[in-house]
Amino acid sequence: MGKKLSAVKEKLDLLKEYSLEEAIDILKENSYTKFDETVEMAINLGVDPKKSDQVVRGSVVLPNGTGKKVRVLVFAKGEKEKEARDAGADYVGAEDLVEKIQQGWLEFDRAIATPDMMSQVGKLGKILGPRGLMPNPKLGTVTFDVAKAVKEAKAGKIEYRTDKAGVVHVPLGKVSFERDKIVENAIAVLKSVIKAKPPTSKGKYIKKVALSSTMGPGLKIDISNLKI
């Protein structure tokens, strides 16, 4: 642990539960890095991630974006290829892109595919799957409406999924964002995660919520006062 982080932790009560607004203010006040840190939220859910019917997965467009430039790749042909380019996709192609990725190229953050391309894109499952880049119809990234998918990705659409411990980790923007914009993003994520609650999940669903920045402390959030 760095000396600066240790100093920050010493003056904070890490057992206290803060409001979203308080936690964001603390992270902003105690940001000591030379780069614009990412604010992240961890949501501990009352699910058993070992059961396939209790894996929580979804996507949400953050109202204020992530503060990060998103490089979007689209697998498409013909008119859909033009539609993707016109919508602002960074890379568009078909078999040529599949081959390029098979050779190790991965210079993109989000992949979208038209349904007719999935027979080819399916060959990339072992490469894209573990990296969370595989197009998925449930997440809106396998679609013929490529223009909408590209624009949403560029605007700050994020995908989330419970990890092995039943926790969802999501970025909420940058420390430089205004507090209210981070709050709006956080509420949008929480509402989406609640909407994605599996029918088989019993008991308390949102168990714990914590906020942190890239190099900052983790702060517990008082979920009883969240406006969701």
Whether the model pTM is above 0.85: no
Predicted local distance difference test score (pLDDT) of residue 122: 96
Do residues 147 and 182 both lie within one domain? no
Read off the pLDDT of each residue in 60-84 and give the average, rounded to a whole number: 95
Predicted local distance difference test score (pLDDT) of residue 8: 59
pLDDT tens-digit map of 208-221: 999 999 988 899 99
Number of structural domains (the chain) is 2
Choose one of 116, 132, 155: the last residue of a domain. 155
Q: Other C-beta atoms within 10 Å of 113: how many?
A: 27
Do residues 79 and 61 both lie within one domain? no
Position with higher pLDDT, 206 vs 12: 206
Predicted local distance difference test score (pLDDT) of residue 4: 62
User: In terms of C-beta density within 10 A (0-12 exposed, 13-18 middle, 19 or more buried), how is residue 204 classed?
Assistant: exposed
* Residue 200: CATH number of its domain: 3.30.190.20
Read off the pLDDT of each residue in 10-29 and give the average, rounded to a whole number: 87
pLDDT tens-digit map of 38-63: 999 999 999 998 898 999 999 999 99
CA-wise closest residue to 209 among 9, 11, 17, 14:
17
Q: Does residue 96 sit within a domain?
A: yes
Do residues 118 and 60 both lie within one domain? no
Amino acid in the structure at residue 154 = K
pLDDT tens-digit map of 148-157: 999 999 998 9
Do residues 148 and 168 both lie within one domain? no
pLDDT tens-digit map of 91-120: 999 999 999 999 999 999 999 999 999 999
